[in-house]
């Protein structure tokens, strides 16, 4: 098993460290050559979604990533990575997203809330979006003050917060479990 991490911009190094801590192999994707390597999952990190989308387009990574996800490659998008999957960006996930949803003053905060399938976790929000609405096939996994902050649609997992910060590996384990199932389907 090997997980690709989109490394054009943002918090990719922290995701890589988290996977290393779990003993899961990963590699960084900076161009189409990197992307061509075999992979069993993809992480799209937090950062700045407008910049990240522009880089993805400039590097001709947009269609290959979109097609791979549509074919079932598991993907985990955090914060800006969540935005990257909505219909204004890669468009693989049935979600309506509000960017910078918590305003400037309340841009960053920590909550401890329940995430379905994982349990109670610390959630670090940094100028975070939230999901206004999930469409068909998409399930909300965590809700804070009536706003969806984690969701899953098939093999696509997103969090508005940053599970790569801190020591808790449970959300990454949850994603890697999705990758393992897909890996078994692929290799059986
Ligand atoms: N505010 C950023 C955006 O809109 C996301 C912030 C983050 O990823 N921490 O792209």
How does pLDDT run across 8-28, given as a tens digit for each residue?
Answer: 999 999 999 999 999 999 999
99 is in an annotated binding site: yes
Instruction: Please tell me the distance between residue 59's alpha carbon and the centre of ligand 1 in angstroms.
Output: 21
63 is in an annotated binding site: no
Residue 53 in tokens: 């989308």
What is the distance between the alpha carbons of residues 151 and 6, in angstroms, rounded to a whole number?
20
Residue 52: give the domain boundaries: 2-187
Catalytic position from the list 14, 15, 138, 162: 162
Number of domains forming the structure of the chain = 1
Q: What pLDDT score does 134 carry?
A: 97
Name the residue at shortest CA distance from atom 3 of ligand 1. Answer: 48
Whichever domain contains 56, its CATH number is 3.40.50.880
Ligand 1 atom nearest to CA at 47? 8
Q: What pLDDT score does 104 carry?
A: 65
Q: What is the DSSP letter of 15?
A: H
Is 113 among the residues known to form the active site? no
Instruction: Please tell me the distance between residue 168's alpha carbon and the centre of ligand 1 in angstroms.
Output: 21
Pocket flag, ligand 1, residue 126 (CB < 6 Å): yes
What is the distance between the alpha carbons of residues 74 and 40, in angstroms, rounded to a whole number?
7
From residue 7, alpha-carbon distances to 39, 56, 101, 183 in Å are 15, 10, 24, 23
Phi, psi (degrees; rounded to nearest 5) at 119: 115, -165
Instruction: Please tell me the distance between residue 47's alpha carbon and the centre of ligand 1 in angstroms.
Output: 5
How do residues 93-145 score in pLDDT, each as one tens digit?
A: 999 999 999 876 667 899 999 999 999 999 999 999 999 999 999 999 999 99
Pocket flag, ligand 1, residue 99 (CB < 6 Å): yes
Residues in the chain: 188
What is the distance between the alpha carbons of residues 37 and 106, in angstroms, rounded to a whole number?
40
Tell me the average pLDDT across 149-176: 97
48 is in an annotated binding site: yes
126 is in an annotated binding site: yes
Q: What is the percent of the chain where pLDDT is above 90?
A: 91
Q: What is the DSSP letter of 137?
A: T
Pocket flag, ligand 1, residue 83 (CB < 6 Å): yes
Phi, psi (degrees; rounded to nearest 5) at 130: -135, 170
ipTM value for the complex: 0.94
How do residues 24-43 score in pLDDT, each as one tens digit?
A: 999 999 999 999 999 999 99
Is 164 among the residues known to form the active site? yes
The beta-carbon contacts of 112-121 under 8 Å, at least 24 apart in sequence, are: 113/142, 113/144, 113/149, 114/142, 115/141, 115/142, 115/150, 115/159, 115/171, 116/140, 116/141, 116/142, 116/150, 117/141, 117/152, 117/174, 118/170, 118/171, 118/174, 119/170, 121/163, 121/168, 121/170, 121/171
Is 136 among the residues known to form the active site? no
Q: What pLDDT score does 103 carry?
A: 73
What is the distance between the alpha carbons of residues 91 and 74, in angstroms, rounded to a whole number?
15
| Average pLDDT taken over every residue of the chain | 96
């Amino acid at each position: 098993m090997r997980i690709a991490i989109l490394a054009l911009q943002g918090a990719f190094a922290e995701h890589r460290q988290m996977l290393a801590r779990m003993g899961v192999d990963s590699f960084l994707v900076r161009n189409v050559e990197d992307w061509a390597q075999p992979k069993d999952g993809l992480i799209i990190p937090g950062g700045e979604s407008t910049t990240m989308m522009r880089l993805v387009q400039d590097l001709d990574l947009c269609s290959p990533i979109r097609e791979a996800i549509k074919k079932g490659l598991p993907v985990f998008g955090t914060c800006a990575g969540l935005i990257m999957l909505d219909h204004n960006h890669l468009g693989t996930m049935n979600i309506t997203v509000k960017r910078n949803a918590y305003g400037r003053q309340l841009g960053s905060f920590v909550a401890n809330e329940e995430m379905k399938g994982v349990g109670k976790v610390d959630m670090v929000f940094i100028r975070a979006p939230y999901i206004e609405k999930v469409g068909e096939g998409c399930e909300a996994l965590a809700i804070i003050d009536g706003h969806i902050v984690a969701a899953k649609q098939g093999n696509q997992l997103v969090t508005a917060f940053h599970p790569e910060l801190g020591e808790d590996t449970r959300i990454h384990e949850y994603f890697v479990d999705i990758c393992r199932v897909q890996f078994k389907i692929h290799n059986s």
